[in-house]
Structure 1
Amino acid sequence: MMEATRDYMYGKIHRCTVTDAELHYVGSITVDPVLLKAAGILPHTRVDVVNIANGARLSTYVIEGPPDSGVICLNGAAAHHFSKGDLAIIMAYEQVPVSQIPGRTSRAVHVDGQNRILSVDSHVTPRLEDLGLPENNRYAQVFI
């Protein structure tokens, strides 16, 4: 019998600024590879993208843009849900066996208004037995 798996958010780009929305492209989201590396996200892999301005959430795949460009461009049908200047969160997931989730690290890349990296946080997933410990409490943690 195979062990159950869960979707695990291993990397995200938090509060990035959408630089463009290109309706007449075949699809996907174009992202500066500097940001992809920092978050551990590979091209052609699925991500969820959330628009902080209007609450839209969609799944698409990543393509690599020019390095150090700061590009975050929603392409194809996704362009209907995002506008230049919107703030977004890009989240990448992987299927992980349940027994391998505790101790696994998730990265959050924080950027400025031009999508330059300000910081990269790493969060280690606690064991079920450790839930409720003060050091694991991230309630009301503010990201600006």
Structure 2
Amino acid sequence: MFITVMKSKIHRVRVTQAELNYVGSITIDEDLMDAAGLLENEQVHIVNNNNGERLITYVIKGERGSGIICLNGAAARRAQVGDIIIIISYGMMTTDEAKTYKPQVVFPDINNRLVFN
């Protein structure tokens, strides 16, 4: 049997753009994508901390180092620039795999940049 578990998460990033007239998706800075192990076109769940909205969309690669987090298409109606969101991806694995799997969790700074200690 397979179960669905959190694969990765970008925790508390700030929405920098909302583009209603677009096909749909979320554009994410490629640095953040790499850190979270996200692939272009991968399905993600978006949780908006400001208004409680939740939605499912897919990832578009954004300019590396730009800090861009842009909700596109209908998703643009679910957040405003400045809102804090969480981006979560999930994967399917066996129960045994899930017991030892460690998700990639990214905690960017206030400008959506990676923080290295």
Aligned pairs, how many? Answer: 117
Shift of 1:89: 0.2
Deviates more, 1:23-32 or 1:100-109: 100-109
The equivalent position to 1:40 in structure 2, one of 34, 37, 42, is: 37
Deviates more, 1:26-35 or 1:107-116: 107-116
AA of the residue aligned to 2:113: R
TM-score relative to the length of structure 2 = 0.96
Name 2:4's counterpart in structure 1. Answer: 7
For the residue of structure 1 that corresponds to 2:63, the secondary structure is coil
Matched, 1:49 2:43: no
TM-score relative to the length of structure 1 = 0.79
Shift of 1:118: 2.1
CA contact (8 A) 1:110 1:119 kept: no
Q: Of the two, which has the highest radius of gyration?
A: 1
AA of the residue aligned to 2:103: S
Give the % identical residues: 45
Shift of 1:119: 5.3
CA contact (8 A) 1:111 1:119 kept: no
Shift of 1:108: 1.1
Q: After superposition, what is the alpha-carbon deviation per residue over 1:106-135, rounded to whole angstroms, capped at 9, x for unaligned?
A: 121001111011259xxxxxxxxxxxxxxx
Asked which structure has the greater RCO (Cα within 8 Å, sep 6+), the reply is 2
Unaligned runs of 5+ in 1: 121-144
Matched, 1:90 2:115: no
CA RMSD after TM alignment: 1.2
Name 1:129's counterpart in structure 2. Answer: none
CA contact (8 A) 1:109 1:119 kept: no
For the residue of structure 1 that corresponds to 2:45, the secondary structure is strand
For the residue of structure 1 that corresponds to 2:100, the secondary structure is coil
The equivalent position to 1:58 in structure 2, one of 55, 58, 64, is: 55
